[in-house]
Structure 1
Amino acid sequence: MKLFDLKIAAQQISSWLVMGWAIAFTNSTGDAAERNDTFVVAALDNEDSQRVAAEFCQAFEIPQTNILSLNFPAGDQLSRTAWEDELRPQVVAWLNENDSESKIANVITVYGTPLAVAAWEDERETKPWRDFYAKALDARLGQINQSIEKLAEIAGQPVAAEPTAEATLADMRKQFDDSVAAAQQSISSLKFDQLKTAKATLQSQVRIVAGLYPFLGSLKNESESGSTEAARANEQFHYLRGRTEALAQAAELMDRVPASFEREATILQLLERNGGLLSAIGWLKRQQKMVEENDSAASLDSELALVLWPKYRRLGTTPNLLHPAFETSPLRSVYRTLSVTRIDGPTPESALALIERATEATKIESLSGKVYVDLRGATGNDATANRKERWLQSVASQFKSVENIDAVVESTAELFPVDGCPDTMLYCGWYSLEKYIDSFTFKPGAIAYHLTPGDALGIHDSDNQGWCRNLIEKGATVVVGSVGRPEIVGFSSLDPKQKRVHPVALSSGMIVFGIDGLTPADPDDSGVGK
């Protein structure tokens, strides 16, 4: 599934920025009963997976009984059918049996468990959504055709070929604009009574099909004309602009609610009230494309985060309710979301090294070092590239504004050079596909995120030259990767002791390798796991 596109402005990031990790344990000391907020998922018949799971539990005082071993098939890709029909029910059953008081909040996946859940092989999910969007589109095409017929009546012309579901949005818009132009031309010859009725019909159909924006442009021009009506037009312009902004924000907020047929119907109503039928049709066509592309692949970690949700859409986007944007949202109590991180790497030893780094990181009072942000200097029309650039620029800007943090920004198409980034505590960058550059000397607790598509899928490939594999091997304590299309993450505060990274969305392919926030067991203690 693709990542949820939550637009984070610079001022929002400032309240969310934290150097750290995606998982926080509430207790730094205590016995087994106090550590029952976490369970570990391992591969049943994989000795290395079992060893990493046991080492983690021993180091962090997690009861060995909190290891859930599943019979995963070999390989880093797990079929969607195997997950939904066989493995997911086992996880739910285990939680129902072992977590009757709903204390578990965290999941650790370890070396040997699959990285990704593949897309659907059948239509159990795609068909209901395909039918829903098709019916919604047909209804709106019928409304547009009715509007075109009314405009043709005003123009005294026969109706042109009506738009079909196969027509592009641009073609629909042009046909409607041509119909409006023809109607406007014929109106000038009408008598007063006929003129008044025709104008009212024309305005009504423009509002239904094209929304508020044509009127907004007209009012702006009138307000700047210097005419006697300019002041009134200016007042109406500001009122209408406020309304369009409110409707747009409402539609965006609805996108942060877990997907359902009811949510989609509400979004359609908001889009129609703002941008008319054409806006709703454009959105519907994008949703249809998502369904036809079967955009249902995800990381196993994302699916585990949602394993307690009784129902959710496996297509498209799923907002991460653990993100600070939902701090006060009652949705958290309805959709119980687990925080998932992974102890994994190119080899079992690499995974064990992540545990050691997390242990070392707990000994430091706060993170120290430099922040390195690598932009691409993108200036073209690629919306995805520009959005990533804006996010990285916001991250750089916020760190530069914080006292005692040295933020180094590469804003050209060049990469940071080999050995050019000493004392790294945070690195963010996003290009040089499958070509890692050994630029960094990582400090204890360091975080690294390179936004490369599917980069995490290469961590177990010895020939892989990607960033995720190498960032783990080269010493970062926390590495953010993706098994699909990468996206931005949220950093929740500048307090180094909170140590949190929040993916904007789940069921999106995001993986966070490495953990912190839980004090390791004292080696001289006789606690759990010894």
Structure 2
Amino acid sequence: MRTTRFSALLLACIAALLAVATPTLAALQPDEIALVVARGNRESLGLAKYYCRQRGVPIINICEVDVPSTEEMEREHWRWAVRPEIQRWVQENDPEGKLRCLVTTWGVPLKIKPAGPDERTARYLAYLKGERDLRMKQLEQVSAALDKLGLDPEQDGDNLQLPDLGGKSDLKIEQRLETSLQAAQTRLAGQTSEAARADKAKLQQLATVTAGANVLLQGLGQQLQQFASREQTPPAETLQQYQLLRGRASAFSELKLMLELRAPSYERDEIALTAIQQTGGMLAAVKWLDEQIATAQKNESGSSFDSELSLVMWPEDYELLRWQPNYLRTAYQGSQLGKTFRTLMVSRLDGPSIKTAKRLIDDAIAVEKQGGLKGKVYFDARGLAELEGEPLLPGSYPDFDRSLLVTAESMKQMKGPDGEPQYDVVLNTSPELFQPGECPDAALYCGWYSLANYVDAFEWRQGAIAYHLASSEARTLREEGARVWCKSLLEDGVCATVGPVYEPYLLAFPRPNDFFALLTKTDLTLVEVYYQSKPFNSWMMVLVGDPLYQAIPPAN
């Protein structure tokens, strides 16, 4: 299609707008914040009052709640005591729904243990296993039908001796299907009789049931390659069918990914299984069910206190296995889901000591008064991807490595009022992390992967914001001697950080390109940047820092 100059300019403008979505709400205000403190803990209450004085939060916006003095609390205690108490306080003190953010303070638990076994999970597991058993029986039938197609018409099928593969066990069915398929293909190769054509059609049907549209797509792709190698034009019908199947496969793959970002449910699984079988057949469906069964058996229902607190106004019976979507994320702007399922932003004023927790407030305010955060920007990639190239599997290691490269390149291109580069960006693409002494004047940082082993390579500027992509880096903020990144970053002087309290999976982290674009190109506060870029709630992540912190001066 021919593009005019005007339409090209229009497309460029749209692309620029989409690059950083315009927030639908004004920046968070002090009277839209409430603080959650540990009842009877003088330091917790004192820190909350100090924050109210420094930031202009109404003193009546302090919610005292009975919580254990440990960093980790029982799920049942949260469910039947703490959650209802906070929910009642919000309902009674915020009848108009003005509050948008809750702040947990020193003394409030950091994480909530997984829930114990219950009847609901047992029913769900039985459903998954039933769906798997059904498909395994169907695959056994497909295998038997393929065996018959592989027979010479003069052979007696009742006395057929098949290769000994250890029986049609779960571990052997894929190998058996492949062997039966190859035998049928060998027998029918080159045959042109009417009976053979009927058998070939049945063979294709059985192969499609087993491996989905992907097997047809692969076959058509090979045909097109053969035409290309002979420098011949393929039939229009073949090309059209290939493009149609390719488009369907791509659409089903995107649908599957979207569904897997949702909490487990019968409705989600029914749609996901349909999409998977359309593209990858029953074998792919069985493998996917195996993954869901393993997830349910692992009981991944633990979470950070703060992430669960985001859903304190939701109905109590939401699914705890894995995560719930974060309806405050940029992707949901314009949707009513965030209002229908009222979701609150949550940040934490905490750290290895009460002095550190107080410093988070003081540093944020000092940097704002000085005109914004200054210093160098450091990104620590691993050399797993190139800046440009084929699309990568979302959530994969190379995909996140590329997101660091994209973020670094984007920030290098940003210009200040004088036309000079706004940021001094340092990018490391070697497998080794930045080493001690390599990162002076550090203001912003994101990198990976050093598990529970903070590498002190930085001289942090006041107000620095940093997070490290690794598992359980916020499992504790107090434990003496722990080298997890969140605790160590706070000890070393960082003003705000993000991390998981348990195993989060890479998908749970805010993507660096999203987080830092919102941080540096919008007027959003810290907690708004975090909630517009993190994918899940009722999960593992926690933000430590002053929610009102605006490290980058608001645009005039």
Normalising by structure 2, we get a TM-score of: 0.81
Choose the corresponding residue for 1:290, options 283, 295, 300: 295
Please show how residues 385-464 of structure 1 align to structure 2 within 5 Å. 385-403=397-415, 404=421, 405-464=423-482
Alpha-carbon distance in 1 for matches of 2:500, 2:354: 20
- 8 Å contact from structure 1 (residues 445, 476) kept in 2: yes
> Counterpart of 1:241?
246
* Residues 323/159 of structure 1: CA separation in 2 closer, same or farther (3 Å cut): farther
| Alpha-carbon distance in structure 2 between the residues aligned to 1:105 and 1:476 | 25
Give the Cα separation in 1 of the matches to 2:199 and 2:485. Answer: 63
Contact between 2:34 and 2:62, CA under 8 Å: does it hold in 1? yes
Match of 1:139 among 134, 154, 163: 134
Aligned residues with identical type, % of pairs: 29
Deviation of residue 98 (structure 1)? Answer: 2.4
| Mean CA deviation greater in 316-325 or 180-189 | 180-189
Structure 1, unmatched stretches of 5+, are: 1-10, 29-34, 520-530
Q: Distance in 1 between matches of 2:304 and 2:169?
A: 33
Amino acid at match of 1:58: R
Question: Match for 1:313 among 319, 322, 325?
Answer: 319
Note the C-alpha offset of 1:120.
1.7
Alignment partner, residue 117 of structure 2: 122
Q: Is residue 74 of structure 2 the alignment partner of residue 79 of structure 1?
A: yes
Q: CA deviation at 1:17?
A: 9.7
Q: Distance in 1 between matches of 2:219 and 2:123?
A: 41
Name the counterpart of 2:328. 322
Q: Which residue of 1 aligns with 2:8?
A: none
- Match for residue 376 of structure 2? 370
Superposition TM-score, scaled by structure 1 size: 0.85
Range with greater deviation from structure 2 (432-441 or 75-84) = 432-441
2:521 aligned residue: 495
Over 3 Å counting, the alpha-carbon distance change for 1:400 and 1:69 in structure 2 is: same
Partner in structure 2 of residue 32 of structure 1:
none
Contact 1:137/1:165 (<8 A) preserved: no
| Contact map agreement 1:81 1:120 (CA 8 A) in 2 | yes
Q: After the TM superposition, which residues 295-306 of structure 1 pair with which residues of structure 2 at under 5 Å, given as runs? A: 295-306=300-311
CA-CA distance at 1:198 after TM superposition: 1.6
Instruction: Give the conservation status (yes or no) of the 8 Å contact 1:295–1:315.
Output: yes
Change (3 A) 1:513 1:92: same
* Mapped contact 2:433–2:448 kept (Cα < 8 A): no
Assess if the C-alpha contact under 8 Å between 2:446 and 2:468 holds in 1.
Answer: yes
Deviates more, 1:152-161 or 1:301-310: 152-161
Residue correspondence of structure 1 range 8-47 to structure 2 within 5 A: 15-16=19-20, 25-27=27-29, 35=31, 37-47=32-42
1:465 alignment partner AA:
R
C-alpha change, 1:473 and 1:25, in structure 2 (3 Å) is farther
CA apart distance, 1:388: 3.9
2:144 pairs with one of 136, 146, 149? 149
CA contact (8 A) 1:210 1:276 kept: yes
Contact preservation (8 Å) 2:454, 2:484:
yes
Q: Measure, in 1, the Cα distance between the counterparts of 2:208 and 2:165.
A: 19
Whether the 8 Å CA contact 2:498–2:544 is kept in 1: the answer is yes
- Other-structure match for 1:8: none
What's the offset of the Cα at 1:149?
A: 2.5
Q: Structure 1: how far apart are the matches of 2:168 and 2:539?
A: 29
Query: Letter of the aligned partner of 2:123 in structure 1?
Result: P
Letter matched to residue 346 of structure 2: V
- 1:362 and 1:517 in contact (8 A); partners too: no
Q: Structure 1 stretch 220-229 or stretch 75-84: which is displaced more?
A: 220-229
| Alignment partners' CA distance in 2, 1:441 and 1:123 | 49
User: In angstroms, what is the RMSD of aligned CA positions?
Assistant: 3.0
- Aligned mate of 2:497, from 464, 479, 483: 479
Match of 1:31 in 2: none
| Contact 1:80 1:120 (8 Å CA) reproduced | yes
- Contact 1:148–1:159, Cα closer than 8 Å, also in 2: no
Q: Distance in 2 between matches of 1:154 and 1:244?
A: 28
Q: Secondary structure at the match of 1:412?
A: coil
Q: How big is the shift at 1:273? A: 1.2
C-alpha separation in 2, matches of 1:246 and 1:431: 33
Matches within 5 A, 1:187-266: 187-188=188-189, 192-226=193-227, 230-232=234-236, 233-266=238-271
Once structures 1 and 2 are overlaid, which stretch shifts more, 77-86 or 338-347?
77-86
- Cα distance in 2 for partners of 1:189, 1:90 equals 75
| Residues 42-191 of structure 1 aligned to structure 2 (within 5 Å) | 42-156=37-151, 157=157, 167-168=170-171, 171-188=172-189
Instruction: Confirm or deny that 1:506 pairs with 2:524.
Output: no
C-alpha separation in 2, matches of 1:363 and 1:136: 60
Displacement of 1:289 in angstroms is 0.8
Query: What is the alpha-carbon distance in structure 1 between the residues aligned to residue 366 and residue 349 of structure 2?
Result: 15
Mean alpha-carbon deviation: is it higher for 146-155 or for 113-122?
Answer: 146-155
* Corresponding residue SS for 1:456: coil
Query: In structure 2, the residue corresponding to 1:121 is in which secondary structure?
Result: coil
1-structure distance, mates of 2:62, 2:168: 51
Residue 436 of structure 1 contacts residue 467 of structure 1 at CA under 8 Å; is this kept in 2?
A: yes
Higher RCO (CA 8 Å, separation ≥ 6 residues): 1
Supply the distance in 1 between the matched residues of 2:351 and 2:426 (Cα, whole angstroms).
28
2:3 aligned partner? none
1:471 to partner: Cα distance:
1.1
Could you tell me how far apart the structure 2 residues matched to 1:301 and 1:326 are?
21
